Amino acid sequence: MNVLITSASRKVSLVRAFQEALTQHGGGIVIPVDASPYSAALYESPVRFLVPRSDDPSFISTVLNICEKHEVKLVVPTRDEELPVFAHNKQLFEKNGIKVMVGSSWTIETCQDKKLFLQFCRREGFAVPKEYLPEKVKKVPSLLPVFIKERRGKGSRRVFKVNTLGQLNELMERLKEPIVQEYVEAPEYTVDLFSDFDGQVISVVPRQRLQIFGGESFVGKTFYHRVIIDECCRMAQKLSLIGHNTIQCFFDGTRVQFIEVNPRYGGGANLGFAAGAHTPTYLVRLVNGLPVPPRIGQFERDLVMLRYTQDSFLYEKDLKKLDIYPGA
């Protein structure tokens, strides 16, 4: 089988992980695609394509055409903006015998709309940081510091710690739909959770975020705690998550407070792979009709990941050889 990874960008480790999984299960190629020729992961495979952005009307027909011509059996979306597009068109791919690692439109919308996610958590009994009306913070300055984030913000780029009323007023004017929440002192964790296409949880690997740059964990450590694992399993079932998901939460040793769920691979997913939960292999096995028994809590504990950047060098003429794929 062949696998297509969209928005490949800098996700070299993800492309390599799927190449490893295919090698171990009958062979096949990984086809990375992206809208930019300056995407390092494109050059990890001899078969790669430039495609339109996900907001282009020809995006889905282009990706589907590549899948049909190159016998792709699995599509792995990796960018937030394209997840709703794939969710909406999921059945179109499945009619052509192609699995897409994406949840339902309801699941994606609930995860990406932070206001909807908070409402979902309260309805289902999941703990989240307290939400404040801006007026209450202004009347009770002792509530400072607080967190402010955009309702549809992406990663940590639209999340701000606010220490003063002046900062609060400035951000309330600048942000479109701000959400104000209490500032939580507890350690932050990222949880790599994998569910099969029927929603059964297969693996859960919590990891502590020790150093973060640009919203991604560059230094992390796997961390075992049954409370985190159990709550994330319950979250996965209530949200109908499938495939690899990246869950973020606070944990003070007793209570899990959820921040957000990204229903896709995250930047630090490689730590989970190294710890024993090689989810690209799980996906390849599932698409091939092979069993993937649950192994919840079975991973290497206290494994530390130190991520670093690596340089690739290409001639400009090689970049120009990558033409936009003609599509359907």
Query: Do residues 206 and 227 share a domain?
Result: yes
Residue with tokens 């606010």: 162
Q: Is the pLDDT of residue 56 over 80?
A: yes
Query: Do residues 33 and 93 share a domain?
Result: yes
Query: Do residues 59 and 157 share a domain?
Result: no
Q: Is residue 166 part of a domain?
A: yes
What would the pLDDT profile of 161-190 be if each residue is shown by its tens digit? Answer: 999 999 999 999 999 999 999 999 999 999
Token representation of residue 313: 């060098």
Query: Do residues 10 and 48 share a domain?
Result: yes
Q: Is the pLDDT of residue 138 over 90?
A: yes
Q: Is residue 194 part of a domain?
A: yes
- Residue 131 confidence class, pLDDT cut points 50, 70, 90: very high
Closest CA to 6 of 38, 25, 34, 45: 34
Q: Is residue 122 part of a domain?
A: no
Q: Is residue 226 part of a domain?
A: yes
- Residue 316 confidence class, pLDDT cut points 50, 70, 90: confident
What would the pLDDT profile of 245-273 be if each residue is shown by its tens digit? Answer: 999 999 999 999 999 999 999 999 999 99
Query: Do residues 214 and 145 share a domain?
Result: no
Query: Do residues 169 and 201 share a domain?
Result: no
Q: Is residue 134 part of a domain?
A: yes
Domain final residue, candidates 182, 203, 219: 182
Query: Do residues 202 and 294 share a domain?
Result: yes
Kindly give, in sequence order, each residue whose CB lies less than 8 Å from that of residue 262, ignoring residues fewer than 6 positions away.
80, 111, 245, 246, 247, 248
Domain range for 60 is 2-102+312-319
Q: Is the pLDDT of residue 325 over 90?
A: no
Task: State the Cα–Cα distance between residues 264 and 242, nearest whole angstrom.
Answer: 9
What CATH number corresponds to the domain at position 58? Answer: 3.40.50.20
Query: Do residues 192 and 243 share a domain?
Result: yes
- pLDDT at residue 212 in the model: 80
Three-state SS string over the chain comes to CEEEECCCCCCHHHHHHHHHHHHHCCCCCEEEEECCCCCHHHHHCCCCEECCCCCCCCHHHHHHHHHHHCCEEEEECCCHHHHHHHHHCHHHHHHCCCEECCCCHHHHHHHHCHHHHHHHHHHHCCCCCCEECHHHHHHCHHHCCEEEEECCCCCCCCEEEECCHHHHHHHHHHCCCEEEEECCCCCEEEEEEEECCCCCEEEEEEEEEEEEECCEEEEEEECCCHHHHHHHHHHHHHHCCCEEEEEEEEECCCCEEEEEEECCCCCCHHHHHHCCCCHHHHHHHHHCCCCCCCCCCCCCCCCEEECCCCCCCCCHHHHCCCCECCCC
Q: Is residue 326 part of a domain?
A: no
- pLDDT at residue 328 in the model: 43
Query: Do residues 171 and 89 share a domain?
Result: no
Q: Calculate mean pLDDT across residues 104-123.
A: 98
Q: Is the pLDDT of residue 323 over 90?
A: no
Query: Do residues 196 and 295 share a domain?
Result: yes
Task: State the Cα–Cα distance between residues 284 and 98, nearest whole angstrom.
Answer: 12
- Name the domain count of the chain: 3
Query: Do residues 217 and 302 share a domain?
Result: yes
Q: Is the pLDDT of residue 158 over 90?
A: no
Query: Do residues 158 and 252 share a domain?
Result: no
What CATH number corresponds to the domain at position 190? Answer: 3.30.470.20
Give the count of beta carbons closer than 10 Å to the beta carbon of residue 251: 21
Is the distance from CB of 229 to CB of 312 less than 8 angstroms? no
Q: Is residue 173 part of a domain?
A: yes
Task: State the Cα–Cα distance between residues 17 and 24, nearest whole angstrom.
Answer: 11
Domain final residue, candidates 167, 182, 197: 182
What would the pLDDT profile of 190-200 be if each residue is shown by its tens digit? Answer: 999 999 999 99
- pLDDT at residue 326 in the model: 67
What is the pTM for the complete model shown? 0.95
What CATH number corresponds to the domain at position 154? Answer: 3.30.1490.20
Q: Is residue 11 part of a domain?
A: yes
> 18-27, 82-91, 203-212, 231-240: which range is least confident on average?
203-212
Residue with tokens 């479109």: 176
Domain final residue, candidates 163, 182, 201: 182
